[in-house]
Amino acid sequence: MSGVKLNRTLGFWAAYSASVGLVVSGTAMVSLGNGYGVGGPAFSIIAFFALIVILCVALSYSELAAMIPGAGMIGEYTTPALGKLAAMFAVLAGYIVLVGTDGGTNMIVGGQSIETLTGIPWVLAVMIILVALVAVNMAGVGVFGKVQTILALGMMGLLGLIGLWGMTGIGLHSQLPVQPPFSTMSWGDQFKTLGAAIWLFIGMEFVAPLAEEVKRPGRTIPMAMIFGCLTIWLVDLFFGLGITKYIKLDDLAASTIPHVAGAEAMLGRAGLILMGVVSILAAITTCDTYLMAIPRMLYGLSKEGLMPKCFSYLHPRTRTPWYGILFVTALISIVLVYAGLNNANIGFITTMINVACATWLMSYIIAQVNVIVLRRKYPNQHRPFRTPLYPLPQIVGILACIYMIYTLYVNPTVLKISLVTIALILIFAISYLKVTGQKLFTPVPLDQVYRGIQSRSESDGLAVTGSEQDPNSQITA
């Protein structure tokens, strides 16, 4: 199927929906509610600092996605900068671990919301949704774009509406609790929650794997990521400040579903129904984003020889990576089966999320290092988007990510699980590269990466500037 290529059909709103589809997830809303419950309204300031950090990361991903518009995303950005081992680690640690911990968790939250509202068993509801989303993603990227745009915009609109309603108090006659203190802890302790606040935005880069299917990716992808981050912060700000006016902070902090508890305290049964709908939409868009993005990362890596060849298969009619979609479905299903058999508690779920967050931040560090390395190796290379104030955003982003990883690893359980996970990833990556006869640390010439992208996508014009061409990178046709 070497002649089958990805289909370039998506515009800005589909790209924007992919960028925010994972960010406003069930676990992100839990982090939002708990953050305001633990820190009070002052958490808004911590969320703003998290916004600054994630914008630094978004600028790096924007430059990389515009310069190297490949479906392999972080994998293809890393091979010409740091080599194949770092590329495999960035994808497996940053994204496969995430799907294995967060994908099923979000579906559980959505399924339980359906059960609360309708009485339908959550397991049955989740399986129906999962099968439907698999069918949508196998049908083609055009179908994904339409479905994801409607769901993501509807979810964002509902969340923002509930928040604004609570902030204004128009038509609300609930007995308000005592006005909460602005901050419940010292600012030193507040900043230790930055790692939790970053989870409000993490995943905004999931539009990047669509680079081979987005129209004008050099412009569309940066706009989608940056606009997505800003709107997420604004909606979260409205919602967080709104619910703290109607529920005691201690109750908010103690709840396993604080976003639902806050909405119910504000609007009663109507709030429960509205937030239940938001939770369901969040579960669907999160799962949909995983099924869209991860298979395309695996596709890009497989085409470059960094993953088994089956992941590079595209269905000849729909031009979608079916094996990758089925692999992601299996990862999500493992968590669903485990939860169904063992009734995993919130402590287990939170630990898994922290493990995923820490390894994901490592992937962010690699992305920002890539920008610096590629600027040095290819200083005059055409970049449709260039990071403003370079290299300040990269330096700020790297230091902030290191700090947040440190705050997450203070928990010894998270540290132990992460070390085991990282060791397994490195063992697999090193073994695979050795068995396939590939070098671990030698960067791949940029023109070789470009030729790989051109061979499988509906795009032209990718070329290394003549003066920067690596003399060892010539490829015989």
Which CATH number is 206's domain given? Answer: 1.20.1740.10
> 3 lies in a domain?
no
Q: What is the pLDDT of residue 266?
A: 82
Beta bridge mates, 214:
10
Q: What is the pLDDT of residue 56?
A: 94
> 454 lies in a domain?
no
pLDDT (average), residues 226-242: 89
Average confidence score pLDDT of the chain = 80
Highest mean pLDDT of the ranges 250-254, 318-322, 425-429: 425-429
> 212 lies in a domain?
yes
The string of pLDDT tens digits covering residues 72-102 is: 788 889 999 999 999 999 988 888 887 877 7
Confidence of residue 373 (pLDDT cuts 50, 70, 90): very high
Q: What is the pLDDT of residue 216?
A: 78
Please tell me whether residue 308 adopts helix, strand or coil conformation: coil
> 474 lies in a domain?
no
> Model pTM greater than 0.85?
no
Q: What is the pLDDT of residue 467?
A: 47
> 31 lies in a domain?
yes
> 468 lies in a domain?
no
> 318 lies in a domain?
yes
Q: Which domain holds residue 234?
A: 12-440
Residues counted in the chain: 477
> 463 lies in a domain?
no
- DSSP character for 179? P
The string of pLDDT tens digits covering residues 177-188 is: 557 778 888 888
* Residue whose entry in the numeric block shows the structure tokens 């609007």: 267
Q: What is the pLDDT of residue 29?
A: 80
Handedness of CA 17, 18, 19, 22 (dihedral sign): positive
The string of pLDDT tens digits covering residues 189-204 is: 888 888 878 888 877 8
> Cα-flanking dihedrals φ and ψ of residue 462, to 5°?
-80, 120
Residue 473 has pLDDT above 60, yes or no: no
pLDDT (average), residues 259-267: 82
Instruction: Determine the Cα–Cα distance for residues 249 and 166; give it in Å rounded to an integer.
Output: 15
Count the domains in the chain: 1
